[in-house]
Amino acid sequence: MRIGIDARTILNPKKGEAIGSGHYTYQLIKNLLEVDKSNEYVLFFDFRVREKDVRKFSRSNVKIRFYPFSDYRKFLPGAYNEILTAATLSKEKLDILHTTSPVSRIPTTYSGKVVVTFHDMGIYKAPECYSTATILRNKVAYQLMAKKADKIIAVSDSIKKDLEEIFGAGEKTQVIHCGLDKRFFAELEAGDEKILEKLGVDKKYILFLGTIEPSKNITRLLQAFAEFKNKSINSKGENNAKFAYQLLLVGKNGWLAKEYWQIAKDLKIDKDIVFAGYIIGDELLPILKKAEFLVLPSLYEGFGMTVLESFAAGLPVIASDISSIKEVAGDAARLVNPRDVAGIAEAMLDFSSNSELKNELTQKGLARAKDFDWEKVARETLEVYNEVAE
């Protein structure tokens, strides 16, 4: 079987390091190549990606292809995708083409068998959290890919339910949960903690990890932290100078990100807040390991990878009581109503004062995290390829 995978989300020159679907694509390909030596793979990358960056995927059964015509988009915006991409794909004579995000759409004229992974239906379920341009652009791609796919992989039961509700695509959708990078179970080594000093973290800290955007409910998170601060100070008779916590927000800036610093100033917590930006690789582990706890009050999540990463690192979690997170976290996290600022603040107070509660959830989280494995994802995805190719 000749399997094509659109790998452009891994090393995207416009979007920087891999996050979300890029991380999924990288781990899926990495593990497929480890468990499957018999099938052929054709991996498609953007032409601007350097060959040395994709060398790690070189195998005897792997062919690397670069889309060489990306610059033509400015001259042929419509024909670019429909003609040139279709020609490139057809030339490879693929048995299966897997596009790992509906946003990485394929041409309507492509006639081969297609598998599509859906990670997120937020533009439909929480449209207030996205710009009008994003909604309009992505809806076109989502509708096309949901219709064109011979098989859809949903990363959660929640996504499958949404696909059935919106597109009537439940019958051709299979749920394959994401895996978890085993590096998050690792222990820290000497010197790993220097990143915290570099970021200006000099107190105990509460961690948020995710894109800084409305879907992550950042405004209510800041309001809850302000309430947590005020109640902590009042209950202990402390002054502002003795407040024991900082809130560390780690993630790339998304839509409306610039507004949050002003909100922090208005709430008079700006001196207690650290916006760290996007952090990758080995620097993320010490940030997770040294935090007091994670707060993820998202209004919408397609899966909730941050919850699992925190579990693996031994970090107790406060997260939204929404379908996808409940599905991933089970009973290993403290779940809260994401629209209830007082409830989020109360959970922070409980975690700050109840070490027994945190320890109990930490142990549950570690056990839960072990259920999510990328090799299992690869094997289940390979079964989908075999089913579609029959």
Any idea what the CATH number is for the domain that residue 140 is in?
Answer: 3.40.50.2000
Q: Are residues 149 and 235 in the same domain?
A: no
Which pLDDT value is given to residue 273?
A: 96
Q: Are residues 333 and 269 in the same domain?
A: yes
Q: Are residues 163 and 282 in the same domain?
A: no
Band (362; pLDDT cuts 50, 70, 90): very high
pTM, rounded to two decimals? 0.91
Which pLDDT value is given to residue 78?
A: 55
- Provide the number of structural domains found in the chain: 2
Q: Are residues 129 and 240 in the same domain?
A: no
The CA distance from 264 to 119, in Å, is 31
Q: Are residues 175 and 131 in the same domain?
A: yes
Helix/strand number for the chain, H first, E second: 16, 13
Which pLDDT value is given to residue 56?
A: 87
Please list the alpha-helical segments (H only) found in the chain: 21-35, 51-54, 79, 86-91, 122-125, 132-148, 157-167, 194-199, 218-236, 259-266, 284-290, 305-312, 323-329, 341-353, 355-369, 374-389
Q: Are residues 206 and 345 in the same domain?
A: yes
Average pLDDT over residues 164-183: 96
Q: Are residues 175 and 190 in the same domain?
A: no
The parent domain of residue 318 ranges over: 182-369
Which pLDDT value is given to residue 361?
A: 98
Q: Are residues 288 and 272 in the same domain?
A: yes
pLDDT tens string 127-152: 999 999 999 999 999 999 999 999 99
What the block records as the tokens of 147 is: 């219709």
pLDDT tens string 242-289: 889 999 999 988 888 889 999 999 999 999 999 999 887 778 999 999
Which pLDDT value is given to residue 390?
A: 84
Q: Are residues 271 and 353 in the same domain?
A: yes
Which pLDDT value is given to residue 135?
A: 94
Q: What is the mean pLDDT of the chain?
A: 90
Q: Are residues 160 and 233 in the same domain?
A: no
Tell me: pLDDT of 80 over 50: yes
Q: Are residues 381 and 355 in the same domain?
A: no
Average pLDDT over residues 351-361: 96
**How many residues does the structure list for the chain?**
390
| DSSP structure string for 277-330 | E---GGGHHHHHHH-SEEEE--S--SS-HHHHHHHHTT--EEEE--HHHHHHHT
Query: What share of the chain in percent tops pLDDT 90?
Result: 74
Contacts of 220 (CB under 8 A, 6+ apart): 297, 338, 339, 341, 344
111 φ, ψ (degrees, to nearest 5): -105, 0
| Closest to 271 in 3D by CA, of 239, 315, 294 | 239
What the block records as the tokens of 248 is: 């560390």
Amino acid, single-letter form, for residue 206: I
What the block records as the tokens of 93 is: 């004579």
Which pLDDT value is given to residue 13?
A: 42
Average pLDDT over residues 228-240: 78
The CA distance from 320 to 386, in Å, is 37
Q: Are residues 113 and 11 in the same domain?
A: yes
Distances (CA, A) of 386 to 45, 179, 222, 381, 390: 24, 21, 48, 9, 6
Lowest average pLDDT, out of 38-47, 51-60, 225-234, 247-256, goes to: 51-60
The CA distance from 220 to 342, in Å, is 9
